[in-house]
Amino acid sequence: MNNANPIVIFAIAAVVLLILFVILIGLIQFYNEFITELQYLSSEIERTDGEERAYWLSRKRRLWLSLLPFVKY
């Protein structure tokens, strides 16, 4: 790459940075939705007891398992 055009290098760098930015935005959005759902489930667990509490605990367990890419719930 001794004779590489600086415009081509800049364009490649811009595309890579754009892709990384989109990935970062997606991760932030996923984290925000995950934490919101986790807070909701925790509040429902605190509010209930008995059979309904067991349901919310299982929902919370499935939420945590959803982080694993090979687990379908």
Q: How far apart are CA 43 and CA 35, in angstroms?
A: 12
Whole-structure pTM value? 0.74
Indicate the domain borders of the chain: 6-65
Q: What tens digit of pLDDT does each residue of 2-60 get?
A: 677 889 999 999 999 999 999 999 999 999 999 999 999 999 999 998 999 999 999 99
Q: List Cα–Cα distances, 37 to 3, 7, 8, in angstroms.
A: 53, 45, 44
Q: List Cα–Cα distances, 27 to 19, 22, 60, in angstroms.
A: 12, 9, 20
